[in-house]
Structure 1
Amino acid sequence: MDTEDHKALREAVSALGKRHGRGCDPAQLWSEAGKLGYLGVNLPEEYGGGGGGISELSLVLEELGAAGCPLLMLVVSPAICGTVIARFGTDAQKQTWLPALADGSRLMAFGITEPDAGSNSHRITTTARRDQDTGDWILTGRKVFISGVDIADATLIVGRTEDARTGSLKPCLFIVPRDTPGFGRRPIDMELNAAEKQFELTLDDVRLPADALVGDEDAGLLQLFAGLNPERIMTAAFAIGMGRYALARAVDYARDRQVWKTPIGAHQAIAHPLAQAHIELELARLMMRKAARLYDAGDDTGAGEAANMAKYAAGEACVKAVDQAVHTLGGNGLTREYGLAQLITAARVARIAPVSREMILNYVSHQTLGLPKSY
């Protein structure tokens, strides 16, 4: 159950979302949400945040989605980047970034995926090497499907450095300001109708000061997964909010639309699939809340399993809810007036990103069930 504080937060965010509604200006909504303190609910109070956790931030994204105006950058800027900096950043990095991320005045994108390293992050080829004379870092590589780079003040880039002892490459995180020389971006032509554009990035000998490195050079995967688990939880929130929005439109329509003697919602062929969609969204929400609670409690291992399960369940529930909503409205489900058709594509994002259904099933079969790997 929601605590009283969570109920109050839900109601306040829902009211904000409904004031803006479908088709709103995302920049204006982002600004207002920041001023009201919703964007930084997960960030430390001493840096201008709300002092909560991913539990609270996922609630914000879910309720905005349920109102028809999800903010995808909530997944990236405060959840991934804000969390990583709050946990591992230097005092200077925290002071520079966290208050601005919390109030929405600055945004940060996150760059991990590469053309030849999608699900397999071990194949990341973006490398970072030290300039022995200056101490600067020099980054070289490419990234793809990076959201919101054009509106972000910087991108948190996942690169790999060479371990001096073993010679193997290990992941490290770097803050790359948007206008850094050698840091190029090209928009990817997407059929997805979203406010945030997707980009391919090139890093051509991008020179960064030593303090661009976030956290310990030797921490490796620990720091990376500090951001990836919140990403999965927030993607679940994104999907659940979208599914709730679609389902609510369908239920309203089914109550009022009358073809024969009773509204179409009285027919079980309409009512039962909508009821099933509601059940599946609620089940996914429970797993999302479990994952968020584990993460906020510091149980990274338990949160990893739950976050993957939540993301899987929410993606499936969202796609089914959107599909059923469109079918409930019939031809109206494909009109701009009702706003459901664009969700057909958007709902698939929750199945595909940030990790595919198949890779989550791999994770559960290997990590949870103890089955052997085929790769």
Structure 2
Amino acid sequence: MRLQPSFDERLLRESVARLAGEFGAEYFMEKTRAREPVTELWKKLGDNGYLGAFLPTEYGGGGQGIWSLAIVSEELAAAGCPMFPLIYSAAIVSNVLARHGSQEQKDTWLPKLAAGEAKIAFAITEPDAGSNSHNLSTVARRTGDKYVINGRKTFISGVDSADAILVVARTGTDEKTGKGLLSLFLVDPDAPGLEHTYVPTAVNAPEGQWMLFFDGVEVDADQLIGTQDKGLRIVFEGLNPERILGATLSTGLARYALNKAVSYVKDRQVWGVPIATHQAVAHPLAKAKIELDLAGLMMRKAAALYDAGSPEAGEAANMAKYAAGEAGIHCVDAAIQVHGGNGVALEYGLTDVWWLARFTKIGPVSAEMVLNYVSEHTLGLPKSY
């Protein structure tokens, strides 16, 4: 694991930061308030090869590791443009298709995903099955050369701007354990029998959250990803990239807030001196910076282990997600606090990112489930659920 960034890494960071700066937080929030996708930014990322950094070169990707995509995500968030689709479309779905898709599925989707010409949403969470994927109640039944899907999903990001939805559904039950056997399907967002309802949240992001209702939705058998009943293993393969990219949202937002705070406390004067000279102001920011850099180190470790194919990647990815979530909240909160009353003034842009920073402690995996993982797999404690 390199502690000093390579020339290519520095160049990638600088390039993405420069591109993101052409749009910035004001553009991002305008799109968010209008509930419109950031199409121009997404397309430019694709044109410059950033969205396909994690994909094989034969499909227009960069053939790089997960760390390259993590850099793209973090730099965008640090510029005030945190991008959920980089988690679900560029990291989870693209990875699933590249590893388990049929040749036709790869040829159809991977070049478009790499070029920013398509997005694919990811639908696994249900009202009664959040982290307990074995308990999914959305069912897909084989009828001839089709599958028929019935059920519902909740908190699914970006459905309204997706070109397809990767749906996880139950296709059977393990006779020994009683747990669901899962399969993955590519579903047309406009398929007959599929309805979606917007879920209002406090999180500021162009990609809204949606409830999905499947009522006899037919899917051709060739839209199955991988093998029937073997989908849980495929889903788990996407969890480490999800954790790492989720962590980058937190660290990017932390940098965004911390940069604003440092600039403010240097300029803001009370009793004839900048407020940065007071330890009560400086120390919380210094503590937040330490937490941020520690989280960044764990993110780098997780990415290096994942790219090396190490079985320890899961532990590191979960720890990185936890550490980054904590650092993100503390950095944004410290930034708001040192701004005083201006911290809640909309013009300073800190309240725009507060709920997203707070949300990263809940999803895409909750802090409690990370602690469960570490308790069981790292410390060897009895399973608690």
TM value normalised by structure 2: 0.94
Give the CA deviation at 1:361. Answer: 0.5
Q: Could you tell me which amino acid in structure 1 is paired with residue 41 of structure 2?
A: L
Q: 1:236 aligns with which of 233, 247, 250?
A: 247
Q: Distance in 2 between matches of 1:180 and 1:285?
A: 41
Amino acid at match of 1:238: L
* Alignment-derived partner of residue 320 in structure 1: 330
Matched, 1:15 2:18: yes
Provide the C-alpha distance between the structure 2 equivalents of 1:126 and 1:2, rounded to a whole number of angstroms: 45
Q: Is the 8 A contact 1:312 1:360 kept in 2?
A: yes
Match of 2:41 in 1: 29
The yes-or-no answer on 1:104 pairing with 2:116 is: yes
Q: 2:132 pairs with 120, 144, 165, which one?
A: 120
Q: Deviations over 1:36-83 (max 9, x none)?
A: 111111011100111112110011000011111111111111101001
The residue number in structure 2 matching 1:77 is 89
Is the Cα contact below 8 Å between 1:171 and 1:224 reproduced in 2?
Answer: no
- Per the TM alignment, residue 164 of structure 1 is displaced from its structure 2 partner at its CA by 8.5
Give the Cα separation in 2 of the matches to 1:250 and 1:312: 23
- The Cα shift of 1:197 comes to 0.5
Q: CA deviation at 1:218?
A: 4.5
CA drift at 1:163: 5.8
User: 1:294-309 to 2 correspondence within 5 Å?
Assistant: 294-299=305-310, 301-309=311-319
Partner residue of 2:354?
Answer: 344
Local SS of the residue matching 1:43? coil
Letter in 2 for 1:227: G
Correspondence 1:61-72 to 2 at 5 A:
61-72=73-84
Matches within 5 A, 1:141-156: 141-156=151-166
Between the aligned partners of 1:98 and 1:196, the Cα distance in structure 2 is 21
CA contact (8 A) 1:107 1:152 kept: yes
TM-score (norm 1): 0.96
Residue matched to 1:47: 59
**Aligned residues of 2:55 and 2:94 also touching (Cα < 8 A):** yes
Stretch of structure 1 that moved more, 113-122 or 164-173: 164-173
Query: 1:173 deviation in Å?
Result: 1.0
Instruction: Find the counterpart in structure 1 of residue 34 from structure 2.
Output: none
Give, in whole Å, the separation in 2 of the partners of 1:271 and 1:332. 17
* Equivalent residue runs for 1:211-290 within 5 Å: 211-290=222-301
In 2 relative to 1, CA 164–233 (structure 1 residues): closer, same or farther, beyond 3 Å?
closer
Cα distance in 2, alignment partners of residues 77 and 241 from structure 1: 19
Q: For residue 196 of structure 1, give the secondary structure of its aligned residue in structure 2.
A: coil
User: Cα offset for 1:220?
Assistant: 3.4
Structure 1 residue 261: Cα displacement: 2.9
**Alignment map for 1:148-187 (pairs within 5 Å):** 148-162=158-172, 169-187=180-198
Aligned pair 1:4/2:16, yes or no? no
Whether contact under 8 Å (1:184, 1:201) holds in the other structure is: yes
Q: Give the deviation of 1:101 after TM superposition.
A: 0.7
Q: Deviations over 1:344-371 (max 9, x none)?
A: 2111111000111111111100111010
Is the 1:23–1:69 contact (alpha carbons within 8 Å) kept by the matching residues of 2? no
Who is 1:371 aligned against? 381
Cα distance between partner residues in 1 of 2:150 and 2:254: 39
CA distance in 2, matches of 1:298, 1:126: 32
8 A contact 1:70–1:238 mirrored in 2: yes
Q: Is the 8 A contact 1:172 1:224 kept in 2?
A: no
Please tell me whether the aligned partners of residues 287 and 306 of structure 1 are also in contact (alpha carbons under 8 angstroms).
yes
Residue 180 of structure 1, CA deviation: 1.1
Aligned length: 372
Q: CA RMSD in A?
A: 1.4
Contact 1:109 1:152 in 2 (8 A): yes
- Could you say which residue in structure 2 is the equivalent of 1:332? 342
8 Å CA contact 1:17, 1:69 repeated in 2: yes
Taking the aligned partners of 1:40 and 1:64, their CA distance within structure 2 comes to: 15
Q: 1:58: which partner in 2? A: 70
Q: Give the SS at the match of 1:40.
A: coil
Does residue 220 of structure 2 align to residue 209 of structure 1? yes
Range that drifts further, 157-166 or 224-233: 157-166
Q: Which residue of 2 aligns with 1:193?
A: 204
Aligned counterparts of 1:94 and 1:331: Cα–Cα separation in 2: 52
CA contact (8 A) 1:149 1:155 kept: yes
For 1:13, give the aligned amino acid.
V
Identical-residue share of aligned pairs (%): 54
Query: For 2:80 and 2:154, how far apart are their aligned partners in 1?
Result: 27
Unmatched 5+ stretches in structure 1: none
Q: Please report how far the alpha carbon of residue 135 of structure 1 lies from its aligned counterpart in structure 2 after TM superposition.
A: 2.3
Q: What displacement does 1:277 show?
A: 0.7
Question: Counterparts of 2:194 and 2:313 in 1: how far apart (Å)?
Answer: 34
